[in-house]
Chain A
Amino acid sequence: MKEEFKIAWRNLWRNRRRTIITGASIFFAVFFAVIMRSYQLGSYDNMINNLLESFTGYIQVQHIKFQDNPLIDNSFDYNDSLASAISEVDKVVSVTPHLESFTLASSGTQTKGVAIIAIDPVKEKDFSDPESKLVKYRITEEAVKRLKDAGSIPDNILEKVNENLGRSYSSPARIELELGLSDEDKERCMPEILKYTEVSNGFLTNDDEGILVSDKLASYLKVSIGDSVILMGQGYHGISATGIFPVRGIIKMPSPEIDNKLIIMTIPAAQKFFDAEGKITSLVVNLTDKSNRTIKTAKARINSLLTDNNTTAKTWYELNPIIYQQIQGDSQSGQAMLGVLYFIIFFGIFGTVLMMVSERKREFGVLVAIGMQKKKLKRIVAIEMFLLGAIGLVCGLLAGTPLILYFYYHPVVLKGELGNLMEDYGWDAVMPTAWFGPYFYWQAVIVALMVLLAILYPIRKIGKMKEIEALKG
């Protein structure tokens, strides 16, 4: 066996060019497939995480009618003992009460329908953490002008800043990401940029009567911190809810759709406003992971804890069936694309194998004629092919790994038209890759299968070979 291995290895390098061509075709197949799949899975993961971790949660306890009819009437009584019982359930990370509704927000002559989410400022830290989304930096025309006047920023970076005019940020990291600065530039320019773009902001205290307004909504209503917003809508059991609320802070939501219409207030303030004493519309539960098993067992446990027959636990995919189906459909079309890619690659591999067999027809004939067993010859050819496959595969995976790693930590930030388009769809305009998972190892399995399929041809050819004819060439 060792001898056969040695012969196979030498055979490979007898015709270096052929080996490299075949190896390269496998290499590229694996490389592209891995990168493509990683991007796809990564951006979906990003989308789902965006949605789950700061909005829907993995599981929500709701009034049974709330999903179909999200009115304040379909709320339920909140008690701390239920929340703490749920937080005892295995794999539950956080339990957060929410009171959600829709009202009209008005300021001056501007009026707009908005979503109200009432939170417990302390408990919310474990869930969507709105405090981290407060707008801290804003690139205004004035800020750009002052930056220019300061004169310490090179023109090319100033231009980049200017491209992002009107945008606001919750963290310096996000500015760095969108400006695409090099490490050197970062060190040199970031302090200046931060200095001139910084804005003051505030947050809610526990029983605050004020509100947080999302960034785009605030600019639509033309309000800033200290101004007041009038909210009016329908409260519990049809009572009219009207109130005037001071703006405490401006938050930047990643999804523009939400950024256009979100107002956050404290639960006590909302209960007073909607005349819904002691009521909430949902308990948002976050879990350790989003695998099917975790979600299903947690859901069953939580359901057994609910004493109010009008409430039920719903999973994130029950709450967002459209997004769930969209993700599944897209994932399948991604797999179909991969299938096509593999199909083409397979014929690439098969083509080189075909070439190899016809080139070496005479050689095989001579070997058999001087007494080599056909069985042994088949084995050598098979080993050759496997070595080739393994080299291509390993190289492909190795070449893909640093790219996946890099883009996992430094996701591509989409800018310009495409970025805006993504944001219009309500997605965060970044494209991270997925961390190494089953998809990565599956490439190995699929390529191994393709090689196996390609080997069948030379083996069959050798089996059916007539030495005399082969010798004649």
Chain B
Amino acid sequence: MRNSYVIIFFLLAQGFGLNALSAQDLSATDIVRKADEKFNGEKSSYSVMSMNVIRPEWQRTIEFKSWTFGKDYALALITAPAKETGQTFLKRGSEMWSWNPSISRLIKLPPSMMSQGWMGSDYTNDDILRESSVVDDYIHEIIGEENIDSRLCYKIKMTAREDASIVWGKQIRWIDKKDFLVLKAELYDEDGFLVRTETGSDIKIMDGRAIISKIELSPEEEPENKTILEIREIKFNIPIGESYFSQQNMKRVR
């Protein structure tokens, strides 16, 4: 009697295992890596974006260009509104610098400034500076499949590795099965409380890739606040190197 239970158990276990394998040609980590590379470029990227900061009483739009190289280097140039045009921000590793043409000064942003919103948005300086890698700093696990905007998505739970120094304790990402687009992400703090939700939409073909061109960020605590990021133009793997991200270039880029 007992033997037959064991046999049934094995059969069941094997059956499930096989099913899981066939549904999971790609591991959760592979999916996250593919989605990340697709959006950020394998090596470098150049993009023109607009950011719409929405508050209950007011809203404003900032336009900027940005260059990235790997995950350690980024440069942003504000192109609108007129009053702020020409300001540049440089990220090199864990340091962030700001150049302001109206006072002709280069300022290194101190740690106390990191939790403040970048250009008044819901993105903090820390979000931009954050070195963490969605691939290396998390443990990934597929926890289901769901439809978002009638696209079938992997629902992936990402738990922060213990040794990683990152802001989020956990993320849940919905990644499109066909094009590997992050259509939705929920970001939780270390205590497991939902802090913000990011949703991607407006899928467009740019530089030969299908990518989301609109990201909407809404913080959980202030539901009336919102930041909408729109990608106007994007190019991947452009020929720039580390030397492009210098303090001299902050003053030069146009």
Top 3 A-B pairs, shortest CB-CB distance? A238-B120, A244-B103, A237-B58
Q: How far is the CA of A43 from the CA of B98 in the complex (A)?
A: 46
Contacts of B112 in A (CB 8 A): 104, 112-113
How many angstroms between the C-alpha atoms of A234 and B119 in the bound complex?
8
Known: A238-B119, A238-B120. A230 touches B107 (CB 8 A): yes
- B108 contacts A by Cβ under 8 Å: yes
Q: Which single member of B58, B100, B107 contacts A111 (CB below 8 Å)?
A: B107
CA distance A106 to B113 in the complex (A): 12
- Can you name the residue of chain B whose Cβ is closest to the Cβ of A104? B113
- CB-CB < 8 A to A239: which residues of B? 60, 81, 83-84, 120
Determine whether the beta carbon of B107 is less than 8 Å from that of A234.
no
Task: Please give me the residue from chain A that is nearest to B103 by CB atom.
Answer: A244
In the bound complex, how far is the Cα of B116 from the Cα of A112, in angstroms? 14
Q: Judging by beta carbons under 8 Å apart, are A242 and B102 in contact?
A: yes
Q: How large is the interface on A (under 10, 10 to 19, 20 to 34, 35 or more residues)?
A: 10 to 19
Measured CA separation A11–B159 after assembly (Å): 89
In the complex, chain A residues whose CB is within 8 Å of the CB of B88: none
Q: Can you give 14 A-B contacts (C-beta < 8 A)?
A: A104-B107, A104-B109, A106-B107, A111-B110, A113-B112, A232-B98, A237-B57, A238-B58, A238-B60, A238-B121, A240-B87, A240-B119, A240-B120, A242-B103
Residue in chain B with minimal CB distance to A234: B120
B53 interfacial by beta-carbon distance below 8 Å: yes
Bound-state Cα–Cα, A242 to B100, Å: 8
**Residue A243 at the B interface, CB < 8 A?**
yes
How many Å lie between the Cα of A109 and that of B112 in the bound state?
A: 15
Instruction: Determine if A73 is an interface residue (Cβ-Cβ < 8 Å).
Output: yes
Number of B residues, CB within 8 Å of A: 25
B93 contacts the other chain (Cβ, under 8 Å)? no
Chain B residue numbers with a CB within 8 Å of A104 are: 107, 109-110, 112-113
Cα–Cα, bound, A73→B59 (Å) = 12
Q: Which residues from B are CB-within-8-Å of A243?
A: 102-103
Query: Shortest beta-carbon distance, B21 to chain A, in Å?
Result: 50
Kindly provide the distance from the CB of B240 to the nearest chain A CB, expressed in whole angstroms.
Answer: 26
Query: Is A238's CB under 8 angstroms from B53's CB?
Result: yes
Residue of B nearest to A236 (CB): B58
CB distance from A442 to the nearest CB of B (A): 49
| Binary contact track B184-195/A, C-beta < 8 Å → 1, others 0 | 000000000000
Q: How far is the CA of A244 from the CA of B113 in the complex (A)?
A: 18
Q: Which residue of A lies closest to B83 (CB)?
A: A239
Q: Is the CB of B55 within 8 A of A237?
A: yes
**Residues from 22 to 64 in B contacting A, C-beta threshold 8 Å:** 53, 55, 57-58, 60
Bound Cα distance A244, B107 (Å): 12
Which residues of chain B in 203-244 are interfacial with respect to chain A, using CB atoms and an 8 Å cutoff? none
Chain A hits for B70, CB < 8 A: none
B105 on interface, CB distance cutoff 8 Å? yes
The CA-CA distance from A232 to B120 in the complex, in Å, is 13
CA of A232 to CA of B96, assembled, Å:
15
Which residue of chain B is the closest to A110 with respect to CB atoms?
B110
Q: Using CB atoms, name the residue of chain B closest to A275.
A: B83
Q: Mark A227-258, 1 if CB is under 8 A from B, else 0.
A: 00010101001111011100000000000000
- 6 A-B pairs besides A109-B108, A242-B100, A243-B103 with CB distance below 8 A are A73-B57, A230-B105, A232-B107, A234-B120, A237-B60, A240-B120
